[in-house]
Amino acid sequence: MAVPLPLYPAVRPPEPEDGGLLRDHLFRLQPQVSELCFANLFLFRHAHHYTLSLLDDSVIVFGRDYDGTACFLPPLCGNRGAAARKLLDAGHQLYGADEAFLAEHLTGRGYSLVEDRDNDDYLYLKSDLATLSGARFRTKRNRIQHFTSRHRYVVEPFSSTHVTASLHLLDNWFRHHDNDGTRSLQPELAASREGLERAEELGLFGVVVRLDDGIAAFALGERLNDTTAVCLFEKADPAMDGASQLVNREFCRLLPPECSHVNREQDLGKPGLREAKRSYHPVAMVRKFRVFPRSPAS
């Protein structure tokens, strides 16, 4: 049984038992922003120092950016606008507000609204990524062909039997990227590891590309809303060209018919990641904004 949420300004970290409550609120909310799914909030609780609180009738998630900046996410329920304004007026910064939230609750009220391009989410049509049809995806198909013509493999839904081999792949992936100098790498490794180990408990689903001697790639995700899944983790053996393109395609093929879109999260301002995400031709960007308290003269 989950421990009741403390009343603001008291906070506590998220727990696995919070999944039922938070998923109920998120289901009614039908969010577009990738952070607003339970597995994301729970698995990145250490990376972003996420905590929960209850402000009037609104569940609030507080956290910190990778640079340590304190913030809160858009309220999950209740009078969301009133709760956000109360926190902004108390000096808190809001992260991850989408255009709809701004228009309904904050625009024209004297707050500073700042676009946050590095954290905008990439939104794709599932059908595009599951088929890779047409000239614009020719390079992706060629890389998959490169992999499939050189390796004996099977694609399987992720299960507990794949955890050990997937963790081994994750360690290899980290060793390959360990010198890139980004603050997000170590937290991503920890969240990915826990996601693999607790996938069933957290309701994650996904696929693996399995070889005779291990895992070449895996992808794990969660439903974000009625029509969109979010891919939380995707890792492939850096030495196997085409493995990442194959697991991306197969993750999308796994999704149910009612799931028409895939959110593949943000690029964090990394040029290589931005180029890779653009190369899959997003149908839209989920724009995010930071909102700052009113200036004293407002």
pLDDT digits (tens, 9 = 90+) for 98-133: 999 999 999 999 999 999 999 999 999 999 999 999
Q: What is the mean pLDDT of residues 21-28?
A: 98
Q: Is the pLDDT of residue 187 over 80?
A: yes
- DSSP secondary structure letters along 157-193: E--GGGHHHHHHHHHHHHHHHTTS--TTHHHHHHHHH
Same domain, 144 and 261: yes
Read off the tokens for 257.
């018919």
Identify whether 272 is part of a domain: no
Q: Considering its fold, how many domains does the chain have in total? A: 2
Q: Give the per-residue pLDDT at 62.
A: 98
Measured CA to CA, the distance from residue 206 to residue 218 in angstroms comes to: 7
Same domain, 148 and 254: yes
The CATH number of the domain holding residue 172 is: 3.40.630.30
Same domain, 166 and 259: yes
Q: What is the mean pLDDT of residues 131-141?
A: 98
Q: How confident is the model at residue 183 (pLDDT cuts 50, 70, 90)?
A: confident
Beta partners for residue 70, in sequence order? 64
Q: Is the pLDDT of residue 297 over 70?
A: no
Same domain, 159 and 44: no
Q: How confident is the model at residue 1 (pLDDT cuts 50, 70, 90)?
A: confident
Q: Is the pLDDT of residue 298 over 60?
A: no
Give Cα separations from 229 to 34, 200, 205, 206, 252 (angstroms): 9, 17, 10, 11, 9
Identify whether 2 is part of a domain: no
What type of residue is 132?
L
Q: What is the mean pLDDT of residues 61-85?
A: 97
Q: Give the per-residue pLDDT at 2.
A: 81
Task: Compute the mean pLDDT over every residue in the chain, rounded to the nearest whole number.
Answer: 96
Q: Is the pLDDT of residue 224 over 60?
A: yes
Identify whether 279 is part of a domain: no
HEC secondary structure over the chain: CCCCCCECCCCECCCHHHHHHHHHHHHHHCCCCCCCCHHHHHHCCCCCCCEEEEECCEEEEEEECCCCCEEECCCCCCCHHHHHHHHHHCCCCEEEECHHHHHHHHCCCCCEEEECHHHCEEEEEHHHHHHCCCHHHHHHHHHHHHHHCCCCEEEEECCHHHHHHHHHHHHHHHHHHCCCCCCCHHHHHHHHHHHHHCHHHHCCEEEEEEECCEEEEEEEEEEEECCEEEEEEEEECCCCCCHHHHHHHHHHHHCCCCCCEEECCCCCCCHHHHHHHHCCCCCEEECCEEEECCCCCC
Q: Tell me the per-residue pLDDT of 227-282, one tens digit each, with 9 for 90 and over.
A: 999 999 999 999 999 999 999 999 999 999 999 999 999 999 999 999 999 999 99
Same domain, 106 and 137: no
Q: What is the mean pLDDT of residues 166-195?
A: 91
Q: What is the mean pLDDT of residues 25-35?
A: 98
Q: Give the per-residue pLDDT at 295.
A: 78
Same domain, 110 and 127: no
Same domain, 233 and 136: yes
Q: Is the pLDDT of residue 296 over 80?
A: no
Give Cα separations from 253 to 11, 220, 229, 248 (angstroms): 40, 13, 12, 9
Q: Is the pLDDT of residue 182 over 90?
A: no
Percent of the residues in the chain that have a pLDDT greater than 90, as a whole number:
94
Q: Which domain holds residue 256?
A: 121-265
